[in-house]
A and B are shown apart, each in its own frame.
Chain A
Amino acid sequence: MLEFRTEGFNGYGVKYSPFFDSRVAVAAAANFGLVGNGRLYVLGLTPNGIVAEKWFDTQDSLYDVSWSESHENQLVVASGDGSIKLFDVAFNDFPVQSWQEHRREVFSVHWNLVAKDTFCSSSWDGTVKIWSPTRPASVLTLPTQTCTYSSAWSPHSPSILSAVGSDSYLRLFDLRLPPSTSNHLALNLPVHSAPHPPSEALTHDWNKYRETVVAVAGVDRLIRTFDIRAMRQGPLAVLAGHEYAVRKVAWSPHLPDLLLSASYDMTCRVWTDGSAPGNGKVPAPIAKELGRMPRHTEFVTGVDWCLFGAEGWCASCGWDERLLVWDVRAVIGR
């Protein structure tokens, strides 16, 4: 396990670079993100441990980060003051672009994985916005009417994105729909179902292999996976185990059934949703926790998979001012 201290700053989001296997970005905030400055770290994984290649200070807390899919040196951050900033690693100190449109804390940013020329953001102000790095204002605003913690593009389509938030609903927007009064809203369905009451959804992620599968998790401590074609029929799998709210879920880029989660209970956990097929010798697995990583000493807020190299490396960050880089295979079965 490798470690980097984000001293004085509590971690809120972590992302591996889609271009370099040795580069990780961390969005962090002073004073637990309640009040004060933010800092974006660009870290290098070197034979001599993790080193800060660059950092950028911001006026307000940073809550999320996403790497550009088209430019290896650029990344966007979500800020507590409602702004979104685009930084370039080749430049010092200041963002190359900044957009101020959201009226409250921006809590997620996510680059379009297919079109690569747009990204989305979601905010506590009840909107999801779509941006192009080359334009001075947002391209589109999609109202959600609820504090929206998480937004994500489908990894399979350039025009489908989704969002979850306080009202316990999953919204799916399809930009190919005509811009009528529905504002591109294609699907708007509850995440909870009886006997569970509605509960704030804090995070969600699209499966990288099965294009209609989404995992959603939040305050009720459960991770649910859905087939968006049949959401009304309830979740495909319900993964219970976290002792406090789940702050982040991330599907494996390598295996279609493997999922990582980060929680206020100070653990990261590895799950299978039970979808891997069985064969003659090995029965099909059931949805369950495969292992946990208990080394964080405060809320774990972010976790991300490395896209390269040996399958299973990941990074997690939290309020304990630490970035941990670890191997999922080492915790499975523990």
Chain B
Amino acid sequence: MSAQARLEQVSGHLRGKKTSRDAILEKHPDDIVVACAVRTPFTRGGRGLLKDTPAQDLLAHILQALISRSGVDPSLVEDIAVGSVLAPGGGATEFRAAALVAGFPATTALRSVNRQCSSGLQAIVDVANQIKAGMIEVGIGAGVESMSSQYGPAAVSEFSPLLDSHPVAKTCKVPMGVLSEQMAQDLHITRTAQDTFAASSYQKALDAQRASHFADEIVPLTVKWEDPKSGEMKEVVVEKDDGVREGITAESLGKIRPAFAEEGSIHAGNASQISDGASAVLLTKRSTAHRLSLPILGTYISSTIVGLPPLLMGLGPLHAIPKLLSKTSLQIADIDVFEINEAFASQCLHCAQELGIPAEKVNPAGGAIAWGHPLGATGARQVGTLLGGLKRKKGRVGVTSMCIGTGMGMAALWVAEY
């Protein structure tokens, strides 16, 4: 019982009003806590080892892994929300069936959620709010996407003449690459800056992968895979993200031809990769976690959603993050790590610079440019990456954020515990 500890206790009483950061670092029995966060490896769409595994199987696998890694009694999980963008019908039927396969009893409910690239985060926030409101005690927010099998023109139906007649509404269907190219030009985000940012994403991801930083997050799985050379179906073990590659530099990226305009700046190397994968997060109240002896990785504090003109969708985080910080009376300096989804190097870089976030705080283990962006799974993937990253950096407070197709942005505030 040291004098120092006693002195700190008394000086805490005298400091009086705490900072907003101190306030969110405190533990309360009704905190919404993350008890476990897992994901599959992310592999390249159409080429990676998960290309022949349907989204529903990825989901079944990751839900099963969540049960075994957290040790939660599946019968205590009351609801599951699954973010998914491309699955026809939202995947509602297959996902419910996948939960049953994973070992959840019929009493565990499930729904699918689609808010484009933030679907995984929206699923988590929905479940957190359900717990906060007293609707459920234990829930899962998850996300899954098989872009190999479900990405393509069929994912959006034709716009009606009515929608097409509206000058802003019709811009909702402008492809992401095209509008981002335009935005990069308008905002004078140079190709060199984008390539440098992208190369550093690859480098950070590679370093993190070599240091096995994702061992706690990634759950390996065994799947059937068609060898494109022989056409033979093989059983393979998928253990790591295959989008992360060696030897990528700003110079090597500088040689790639632009994808969306002759003189453009955006190409396959400085945009997020098309990928397959699934992720899941177990949420409950702190008091319930204590009662059930569940681990606690972190706390969910708050989240925000913003809308902006569809053509400026890449600026989503630029609007969502300040709204989140003002709601929680925090400043950029109070945040230790930002996980901002790298839909495109251009938009992620621009948002971080405009917000004045030091580069070392942004995506310290790389982002979607290096690992890939299985649309629905990214939001839940970020939570595991953030909490793990905060622990490694000895930080506490983090933000996850992403831009959302059709012009939206979402951000959420987390506190890591370790």
Listed in ascending order, the chain A residues whose CB lies under 8 Å from chain B are 31-35, 60, 80-82, 104-105, 124, 145-147, 166-169, 181, 188, 190, 197-200, 202, 218-221, 244-245, 247, 264
Residues in chain A near residue B17, CB distance under 8 A? 197, 199, 220
A33 lies within 8 A of B6 (CB): yes
> Is B6 touching A105 in the complex (CB atoms < 8 A)?
yes
Smallest distance from the beta carbon of B6 to chain A beta carbons, Å? 5
Q: Given the complex of chains A and B, what is the CA–CA distance between A33 and B6 in angstroms?
A: 8
In-complex Cβ contact of B27 among A146, A197, A218, A221 (8 A) = A146
- What chain B residues lie within 8 Å of A200 (beta carbons)? 12-13
Q: Which residue of A lies closest to B28 (CB)?
A: A167
8 contacts between A and B (CB under 8 A): A60-B1, A80-B6, A147-B9, A168-B26, A190-B28, A219-B13, A219-B16, A244-B14
Knowing A34-B7, A197-B18 are in contact, say whether A181-B13 is a contact too (CB < 8 A): no
A35-B6, A169-B29 provided; 7 other pairs, C-beta below 8 A?
Answer: A31-B3, A80-B6, A104-B1, A105-B6, A198-B26, A245-B14, A247-B13
Within 8 A of A (CB), among B282-314: 287, 290-291
Query: Which residue of chain B is the closest to A183 with respect to CB atoms?
Result: B291
A34 touches B12 (CB 8 A): no
Return the contact of B29 from the options A35, A60, A188 (Cβ within 8 A): A188
Per-residue 0/1 for B1-37: is the Cβ within 8 Å of any A Cβ (1 yes, 0 no)?
A: 1010011011011101110100100111100000000
Interface size class of B (residues with CB under 8 A): 20 to 34
Q: Is the CB of B27 within 8 A of A202?
A: no
Q: Label chain A's interface by main secondary structure.
A: loop
One of B6, B10, B28, B291 near A198 (C-beta < 8 A): B28
**Shortest CB distance A36–B (Å):** 9
Which B residues are in CB contact (< 8 Å) with A188? 29, 287
A220 to B17, CA, bound (A): 6
The DSSP consensus for interface residues of chain B is helix
Question: Residues of B with Cβ closer than 8 Å to A?
Answer: 1, 3, 6-7, 9-10, 12-14, 16-18, 20, 23, 26-29, 287, 290-291
- Bound Cα distance from A181 to B287, whole angstroms: 11
Q: How far is the CA of A218 from the CA of B29 in the complex (A)?
A: 19
Specify which chain B residues have a CB less than 8 angstroms from the CB of A219 in the assembled complex. Answer: 12-13, 16, 18
Closest-by-CB residue of A relative to B20 is: A197
A197 contacts which chain B residues (CB < 8 A)? 17-18, 20, 23
Residues of A within 8 A of B6 (CB): 33-35, 80, 105
Inter-chain CA distance A124–B2, complex, in Å, is: 13
Nearest chain-A residue to B31 (Cβ)?
A167
Report Cα–Cα, A167/B18, bound state, in Å: 13
Q: Determine the residue in chain B with the shortest Cβ distance to A199.
A: B18
Inside 8 A of A199's CB, which chain B residues have their CB? 17-18
Of A33, A35, A147, A198, which is within 8 A of B23 by CB?
A198
A82 touches B1 (CB 8 A): yes
Q: Which residues of A contact B23 (CB under 8 A)?
A: 197-198
Q: Could you tell me the distance between the alpha carbons of A197 and B24 in the complex, rounded to whole angstroms?
A: 9
Say whether A80 contacts B1, CB under 8 Å: yes
Contacts A80-B6, A200-B12, A200-B13; A166 near B26 (Cβ below 8 A): yes
